[in-house]
Amino acid sequence: MAGALVDVKPTPILKEELDIVIPTIRNLDFLEMWRPFFEPYHLIIVQDGDPSRTIKVPDGFDYELYNRNDINRILGPKASCISFKDSACRCFGYLVSKKKYIFTIDDDCFVAKDPSGKEINALEQHIKNLLNPSTPLFFNTLYDPYREGADFVRGYPFSLREGVPTAVSHGLWLNIPDYDAPTQLAKPLERNTRFVDVVLTIPGGTLFPMCGMNLAFNRELIGPAMYFGLMGIREPIGRYGDMWSGWCVKVICDHLGYGVKTGLPYIWHSKASDPIIAFVNLREEYYGIFWQEELNPFFQSAVRTKACATVQKCYIELSKQVKDELGRIDPYFLKLADAMVTWVGAWDELNVKCYLS
Amino acid sequence: MAGALVDVKPTPILKEELDIVIPTIRNLDFLEMWRPFFEPYHLIIVQDGDPSRTIKVPDGFDYELYNRNDINRILGPKASCISFKDSACRCFGYLVSKKKYIFTIDDDCFVAKDPSGKEINALEQHIKNLLNPSTPLFFNTLYDPYREGADFVRGYPFSLREGVPTAVSHGLWLNIPDYDAPTQLAKPLERNTRFVDVVLTIPGGTLFPMCGMNLAFNRELIGPAMYFGLMGIREPIGRYGDMWSGWCVKVICDHLGYGVKTGLPYIWHSKASDPIIAFVNLREEYYGIFWQEELNPFFQSAVRTKACATVQKCYIELSKQVKDELGRIDPYFLKLADAMVTWVGAWDELNVKCYLS
């Protein structure tokens, strides 16, 4: 029998299968805190600002570090698709990785504790989420049916109990929630203290705000759509790379039959609640907040009607729709549509082995 | 500013606004345990079996009791739409109520405790769920944004932060989960011990298995669709009245712009894990399990394209689609389609005041 009646035991993911991608590290406590969890894996650090600044990685970590000069050297003219001075540059790490899975995390995210006080191994939970199927086609009221002690409830169609492959695992944040700048300004003291012990599949056809702070994905399934767009310096918009990517990823996952999970694991998000930061965020987010009203209906109706069989084909098709339907909002979207094509070209160039195998 | 930036405080719902509907009470401990929570309200008890059997309700409760003879007397020939010997008969209580809200619960559901050991006031949580808006049009990763300490996260469109009216609050079960008979047989010892501290809106366009054990709804918004179908004796199917109702309710809520929430509150479900019961359940559920495979695609595409502006019109339209598209599966669906029309007729007859006011 399919589904939860089989005891699904995740196997550990090896170093050969997973890379950890981090956009800049300004705080070395970050790596020390994660040392027991990250040391067994390879880190890809993508420096988002001035390439002459050096990041000193403590001993014991296996890592590669890319700054802007490296990005320009490796991608040549295609480097134009990688953001500068915005954590959206992290997607360069997805390009150069050769592993099946990626875990990406921000340097202001620390190890959280569960209600019993035990440190949460975020990476282990992401791996569990990615190795177990998703259930986007019908909602299970006891949440993840593959989890120990849970199953599909009465009324859940048996034909859907095998689930679909999971492409994305979206983790959450204790302490400082991922609010937009207006909400930060309105609620400077709000902290997320509620540990919700749940993982669930975001249903098919439903969009969600994908945050890049604590995120894992199957690069083989969805990598070419994990492009964080054009953000930061030289662009009218910042702090929306993960959102853009999340909307593209979700419609393509829905189209290709892959699942997106959200919930556990939590990390401890420590960003200071400084009103100055909120004002800077507000300036950077302004167009994101403004445009997202039009992006929602756009993505609600995007791609799905087209018969595209690979992530790359879906993504190129989506870039055409961005040009045709969003270009009228602002010329930025014409440039972004071109950058999407450049990104897929860079992906195919650096990942040529995938197609030969 | 709309949405969660306003502090939404639910007002208590008065006796004049809510009825508690219970299908038969075989166990008087049930009422004693709920006494502090139920005594302030009016109970409607709908006896599902032999009308000569009497149910002794302890002193102190304000109640009305209906048996089969009462149903036949009140509805006349339209009584044919009310199930006999199945808890689906409970929907008769929704018909005769004159209140805005209904809470319905099974007599094997007891007061649960939260992780701190405090007794959970299920009714109070349902009321909170129904009085706060729902967010079916976009998923919020911090779950219910209207809950204290939560909000909409970065990337959530501002135009959707007012939410939509909540029509249904679906509560969950600790101890014995609501599994179908095959799963009960395969996992006789499984207990739900995980208290998940969350309420979430089931996204628009997504179906779910609505369980009638611990359920509340806004009768004015969705009452005419809360029909539990033809189940039990004389029918090929049982134990699926809540599922049938849930699928009809969800597509109509999606169409009319109402929300459906699931999660808190928990009750303690105490049904004995007797394999004999599981075998009886298997026999009753057989056609439910078999037919649900075809019902899922049917409901996925039902109603939505039609321009029906009231619950009644949606429901009549849905009954036509049941006749046209499901009648070929089994003549039972032709009979059920007729019963749906009869039900709406009975609703309009008994609720005529709603249309005059």
Of B139, B178, B194, the CB nearest to A197: B194
Of B183, B193, B198, the CB nearest to A198: B198
Q: Are A329 and A290 in contact (CB under 8 A)?
A: no
Of A153, A195, A198, the CB nearest to B209: A153
Q: What is the mean pLDDT of residues A67-71?
A: 96
pLDDT single digits (tens) A48-59 = 888 898 888 999
Work out the pLDDT band at A11, boundaries 50, 70, 90.
low
Work out the pLDDT band at A277, boundaries 50, 70, 90.
confident
pLDDT single digits (tens) B228-286 = 999 998 899 999 999 999 999 999 999 999 999 999 999 999 975 577 888 888 888 89
C-alpha distances in angstroms, B134 versus A252, B14, B121, B144? Answer: 26, 22, 21, 8
Q: Quick one: which H or E segment has residue B284?
A: helix B275-301
B176 chain-A contacts, CB cut-off 8 A:
none
Q: What is the mean pLDDT of residues A298-313?
A: 84
pLDDT single digits (tens) A208-240 = 999 999 999 999 999 999 999 999 988 999 999
Q: Are B261 and B129 in contact (CB under 8 A)?
A: yes
For residue A355, is pLDDT > 60?
Answer: no
Q: Of B183, B197, B210, B293, which to mutate for an interface test with A (greatest number of A Cβ within 10 Å)?
A: B183
Main-chain phi, psi angles of A134, to 5 degrees: -115, 165
Closest-CA residue of A relative to B197 is: A196
pLDDT single digits (tens) A72-101 = 999 999 999 999 999 999 999 999 999 999
Of A143, A172, A179, the CB nearest to B196: A143
Record: contact B155-A240, CB cut-off 8 A: yes
Work out the pLDDT band at A280, boundaries 50, 70, 90.
confident
CA B177 to chain centre: 16
Residues 6+ apart with CB under 8 A from B352: none
Record: contact B210-A155, CB cut-off 8 A: yes
Interface of A with B in 213-272 (CB under 8 A): 239-240, 242-243, 246, 262
What is the pLDDT at residue A342?
A: 98
Closest-CA residue of B relative to A186 is: B5
For residue A3, is pLDDT > 60?
Answer: no
Q: Of A183, A194, A284, which to mutate for an interface test with B (greatest number of B Cβ within 10 Å)?
A: A183
CB half-sphere exposure, A341, CA atoms < 13 A = 11
Q: To the nearest whole angstrom, how far is the Cα of B117 from the nearest Cα of chain A?
A: 15
**Whether the bond into A265 is cis, omega within 30 of 0:** yes
Of A149, A191, A240, the CB nearest to B190: A149
C-alpha A97/C-alpha A88 separation (Å) is 16
Q: Are A152 and A1 in contact (CB under 8 A)?
A: no
- What is the predicted ipTM? 0.94
Q: Quick one: which H or E segment has residue A102?
A: strand A101-105
pLDDT single digits (tens) A128-158 = 999 999 999 999 999 999 999 999 999 999 9
Record: contact A139-B296, CB cut-off 8 A: no
Q: Are A167 and A254 in contact (CB under 8 A)?
A: no
Q: To the nearest whole angstrom, how far is the Cα of A67 from the nearest Cα of chain B?
A: 28
Record: contact B149-A192, CB cut-off 8 A: yes
Please report, to the nearest 10 degrees, the dihedral formed by the alpha carbons of residues A332, A335, A338, A339 taken in order. -90
C-alpha distances in angstroms, A329 versus A325, A338, B278? Answer: 8, 16, 59
Low-confidence ranges of chain B (pLDDT < 50): 1-10, 354-357
Whether this prediction's pTM lies above 0.90 is answered by yes
What is the pLDDT at residue A13?
A: 78
What is the pLDDT at residue A306?
A: 64
What is the pLDDT at residue B26?
A: 86
Q: To the nearest whole angstrom, how far is the Cα of A160 from the nearest Cα of chain B?
A: 9
What is the pLDDT at residue B281?
A: 87
Q: What is the mean pLDDT of residues A165-170?
A: 98
Record: contact A246-B155, CB cut-off 8 A: yes
Residue A284 sits at the chain B interface (C-beta within 8 Å): no
A208 chain-B contacts, CB cut-off 8 A:
138-141
User: A295-301: long-range contacts (C-beta < 8 A, 24 or more apart)?
Assistant: A295/A247, A295/A326, A296/A207, A296/B138, A296/B157, A296/B160, A298/A322, A298/A325, A298/A326, A299/A207, A299/A247, A299/A248, A299/A250, A299/A251, A300/A207
Q: Where are the beta strands (DSSP E) in chain B?
A: 18-23, 42-46, 62-66, 101-105, 109-111, 166-175, 199-201, 214-218, 259-269
Of A155, A186, A197, the CB nearest to B243: A155
For residue A260, is pLDDT > 70?
Answer: yes
Query: What is the full DSSP assignment across A178-235?
Result: ---HHHHHH-TT--B------EEEPPTT------TTEEEEEHHHHGGG----S-BTTS
For residue A43, is pLDDT > 70?
Answer: yes
Interface of B with A in 11-30 (CB under 8 A): none
